[in-house]
Amino acid sequence: MRDLKERLDTLVRLRPSHREVLEFYAAILKEQIKVQEAVLTEDTLKSSPGESPGQRKLPLFEVRDLPLDLAVAKKLFRSLCRVAKGRNQTLQEGIEKIQGMVRSRKIDMDRFLNEMVLPDSPYVEEISSSHGINRDILCLLGRASIQPSLERAAKLLGKGSDLEEWSGGICPICGSPPLLSELTGQEGRRMLVCSRCQYRWRGSRMACPFCGTEDHEAHRYLFVEGDEGVRIDVCDNCKKYIKTMDTRETAQKTFPLLEYVGTLHLDMLAQEKGYHKGSVPFLEIG
């Protein structure tokens, strides 16, 4: 928790205009960290979907088959409702309605949480439209509740030389696009961070992670003067962009979600120039 607080304080100091969104997502991360040790142990998760390292087909999972610890997710869902609803009136009203639906069993929590791994949930659309529930808030709570399962599964399954050698533009665990890239080590090695399970894998310095082009003339980057520790890498071939953090610039532990939401000014800069996001956070709201 200390690492989270230190990083939050640093980002708020660097970008005070982002304080509200940073504090909101830091509160979610704090609750997720509390359950990390309880979710998906070695005994409850096989080391692979059935093939030995070196023989596994990548990505390892279809999104709908990602393993979840529903017992922990339900507990986390209750905690998240408690800490999030005091943030503003919209959240309070939306969450109180959701809590009432859960108490009256009008929401099938097992089905709801299982469908949260999907890009679009038919069940969420059904209950939000039928009962007037705020869809964005419901999805945020559901996805935040299952994400520790996804992160733990990725950590346990990401062992093996086949994954270490992967340099594709999608996550080798779940097939999702990257949320961020990081420059690490003395040589500035590029690591990509999954937008869904937050698995890190080695990315190509020469290729766009979204369209794969290696045309160096299509690649350039944007930054704000005085804030060179993070930049936007843009591709003129597909017109997509990805945020890139130089983790060599900080001795602090970084948290991908905080780094992403703490740089909304860079999204505006890229979009003003005609580029669009290559991916969005799993927990994005609105």
Residue 283 lies in a domain: no
Examine the domain organization and report whether 24 and 152 are in the same domain. Answer: yes
Over residues 146-160, mean pLDDT: 87
Q: How many separate domains does the chain show? A: 2
Sign of the torsion angle spanned by Cα atoms 184, 277, 285, 15: positive
pLDDT tens-digit readout, 62-96: 888 888 999 999 999 999 999 999 888 999 999 99
What local confidence, expressed as pLDDT, does residue 119 receive? 86
Examine the domain organization and report whether 141 and 194 are in the same domain. Answer: no
Examine the domain organization and report whether 148 and 207 are in the same domain. Answer: no
Domain CATH number, residue 231: 3.90.1670.10
Of the candidate ranges 34-48, 178-192, 246-260, the one whose mean pLDDT is the lowest: 34-48
Over residues 158-164, mean pLDDT: 73
Residue 11 lies in a domain: no
Examine the domain organization and report whether 142 and 204 are in the same domain. Answer: no
Give the confidence band of 47 by pLDDT, cuts at 50, 70, 90: very low
Examine the domain organization and report whether 150 and 243 are in the same domain. Answer: no
Give the confidence band of 141 by pLDDT, cuts at 50, 70, 90: very high
Token couple for 217: 């003339």
Residue 7 lies in a domain: no
Examine the domain organization and report whether 43 and 69 are in the same domain. Answer: yes
Residue 10 lies in a domain: no
The model's pTM:
0.90
Which one of 157, 177, 197 terminates a domain?
Answer: 157
Which one of 142, 157, 172 terminates a domain?
Answer: 157
Examine the domain organization and report whether 98 and 182 are in the same domain. Answer: no
Q: In sequence order, which ranges of 36-121 are alpha helices (DSSP H)?
A: 70-84, 89-103, 109-115
The strand pair at 240-246 and 276-277 is best described as parallel
Assess contact for 242 and 210: CB atoms under 8 A. Answer: yes
Assess contact for 246 and 183: CB atoms under 8 A. Answer: yes
Examine the domain organization and report whether 34 and 150 are in the same domain. Answer: yes
Examine the domain organization and report whether 131 and 259 are in the same domain. Answer: no
Q: Which residue has the higher pLDDT, 111 or 62?
A: 111
Token couple for 211: 């369209």
Residue 273 lies in a domain: yes
Examine the domain organization and report whether 29 and 124 are in the same domain. Answer: yes
| Nearest Cα residue to 36 out of 270, 175, 198, 202 | 198
The mean pLDDT of the chain is 89
pLDDT of 54 > 70? The answer is no
Examine the domain organization and report whether 202 and 143 are in the same domain. Answer: no
What local confidence, expressed as pLDDT, does residue 260 receive? 94
Examine the domain organization and report whether 41 and 26 are in the same domain. Answer: yes
pLDDT of 38 > 90? The answer is no
Which one of 122, 138, 157 terminates a domain?
Answer: 157
Range of the domain at 248: 161-277
